[in-house]
Structure 1
Amino acid sequence: MSVAPDREALIAAAREAAGLAYAPYSKFHVGAALLFADGSVVTGANVENASYGLSLCAETVASAKVLSSGGRGGLIAVAVTGGVPGQPGRGATVTPCGRCRQVLNELAQLGGTDPLIWCDGENGGLELRLSELLPHAFGPANLG
């Protein structure tokens, strides 16, 4: 069974997640919401660290939550938003960074999906497939 993705609901979940971000250095709060075929939604927020390279993006946090709880595949849509505290989605459209595109690709390839990616912003945002954001991706299929 696969649910129909609800863009507005998933963006709302990403905006709510952004409110939980720990971003004392950049002051830029990012939230991500991942929708799975069974209807479950897993969210994540960015987590910064004083050693900047150890910071985690919202999409990576959400993906780690899924994988560490035994989730494998079924990813059908992702919403990403960002902005100053209390104002996610206001400002420039936020897209997943390169690292997050790769992390999302790993999760998508486990289930053979090409999820919709909704990037939130004041200008209406973007709607793309993961394969458009990360063409010629490397993943589990390349190792076997």
Structure 2
Amino acid sequence: MSNVKQSENLIELAKNAMSKAYVPYSHFQVGAAILTKSGKFYSGCNVENAAYPEGTCAEAGAIASMVLDGETQIKDIYVIGHGDALVTPCGGCRQKIREFSSADTMIHICGAQGVRKTLSMEALLPFSFGPENLKQ
């Protein structure tokens, strides 16, 4: 599959996930789709909770699905939301993505028109703390 076709598929997967978001309080839908290093796809949507802010972000849902299937290496992650501003991962999700990333992991910030901005993990979370910091 070409990189363009793969990107289009991941954007559609993220859009579909976003359409299923459970957001009765903020009404702010977010979807995420992951491509792993082994070529598998996973997606997630944000899920709010009446005990605000005990919800789950779209990125966290996609990562949980990935880990449940035995995968641990994100190659690319696509995050999509509505609005004029870029919908980037929150601070907690940046760290969650970092846990399963490498130097070549790319984060694609999307809107209705497709990819709006692509960042490396280092650009998204510079000077990050990761699993290698705990190795002695």
Q: What are the Cα deviations for residues 28-69 of structure 1, in whole angstroms up to 9, with x where unaligned?
A: 110000001222110000010011121110001111111233
Aligned-pair identity in percent equals 41
Match of 1:38 in 2: 38
Q: Does 1:99 align with 2:98?
A: no
Number of paired residues?
132
Q: Which runs of 5+ in 1 are unaligned?
A: 84-89
RMSD: 1.9
Compute the displacement of 1:71 (Å). 1.6
Compute the displacement of 1:130 (Å). 1.4
Q: What are the Cα deviations for residues 111-140 of structure 1, in whole angstroms up to 9, with x where unaligned?
A: x45311110125761111111000111111
Q: Does 1:76 align with 2:75?
A: yes
* Cα pair 1:92 1:122 within 8 Å, conserved: no
Mapped to 2, the partners of 1:46 and 1:8 lie a distance apart of: 21
TM-score, length-scaled by structure 1: 0.83
* Cα pair 2:103 2:122 within 8 Å, conserved: no
The one-letter code matched in structure 2 to 1:20 is: K
Alignment of 1:84-123 (within 5 A): 91-108=84-101, 112-121=102-111
The one-letter code matched in structure 2 to 1:94 is: V
Q: Which runs of 5+ in 2 are unaligned?
A: none
Mapped to 1, the partners of 2:69 and 2:10 lie a distance apart of: 21
Q: Does 1:129 align with 2:120?
A: yes
Mapped to 2, the partners of 1:72 and 1:15 lie a distance apart of: 23
Which of structures 1 and 2 has the larger relative contact order (alpha carbons within 8 angstroms, sep 6+)? 1
TM-score, length-scaled by structure 2: 0.87
116-125 or 6-15: bigger deviation: 116-125
